[in-house]
Structure 1
Amino acid sequence: MGTQMDDVQIIDVNEDGEEEEAPVMHRSSLGNQDLGFIRQTAEEILAEYGWHLLFLTVCIIVLIQYLSKKRAIQVSKRSSNETAQDPALIVRRQEALEASRRRLQEDLDAKAAEYKEKQKKLEEEKRKQKIEIWESMQEGKSYKAKNSSQAEEASSSSGVLKPKSDNKLRGSGYNPLAGDGGASVSWRPGRRGPTSGG
């Protein structure tokens, strides 16, 4: 594109056959002169309004991004509205919710029935214990004694022997802190007062 041609000399021939020299024409380069003008104009505009153009470009980019996000949000809202307004989908969701509620209610009812049954058994056992206590009191026996004898039977049946406690000292009313043990042995608290020493 930017090729240059050499100067061309044109020779004119008369009718007589004599050669006449025509003026030499110089051809300039075939480069596009319009581009140079545009380049010069662009440089002048950038030099004068460069910061304004940069600011305007940034504003346009931010505006485009904002509008694209807003459009994406609107599209997603439309799609959600379309699915929400689909009656078949709404009916299916409600049926699924009802089924899950029914399952949860059945589980809750089953647990409540089990709890009631346990409570009835506990109340029955308590009632039987009260009856046993009342019967043992009518016979003149202590209920605790009956329970302790049952516990001893259970422990002896399991093979574990309990050591017998030595109640000789307790039976005589011996208390080492009270000083009742004998004439030669008694306990007294220490004297209170300032300590001697330095």
Structure 2
Amino acid sequence: MDDVEILDVDDNNSPRQVPLKNQDLSQLSFTVGDFLSLYGWYLLAVTFTVFLLIQQLRKRRSSQSQQDSVPQTQLDASLVTKRQEAMEAARRKMQEELDAKAAIFKEKQRQQEEEKRRQKIEEWESMKQGKSCKGHKPSESSEEASSSSTVLKPKTDKKPLRSPDYNPLMGQGGSCTWRPGRRGPSGGG
């Protein structure tokens, strides 16, 4: 492509040769070599300074991580210890609450047993005296003794459930009757 020639045509129609030149780049004759010759030492100093700063930062990070790792493990150990102590305290508190509830429950059970025993004794005593024990409440025992003038009427409103001549052994009807078993060989196999 260097061998390309451009011919200009003038008004007089005669071709003319013009060498190809980029005039914009000719003004930028400033090259990398010129840049390094002017600013090379400054560039070298800046590069060296940046390198030293990076080395210092790496040393500080590694020393901080080592210093932080020791207290971090100590903090972790103390944190774990505190958590375990808090869990133990919570467990002790829950166990004490459970023990208190169990004691209350046992006391209620004991009182109920004592009440049942006392009622049985009162029923036994009332049976010895000839009083009825059905529907007998301890609080009503004194009231019943004082109000003995009350007369109970037998209930004659209802009809008897069965006729007076009913005997279940006679087979008077119903669906439950005895039937002899089947004859023949057993069905087992």
TM-score range, shorter chain: 0.3 to 0.5
TM-score, length basis structure 1: 0.36
TM-score, length basis structure 2: 0.38
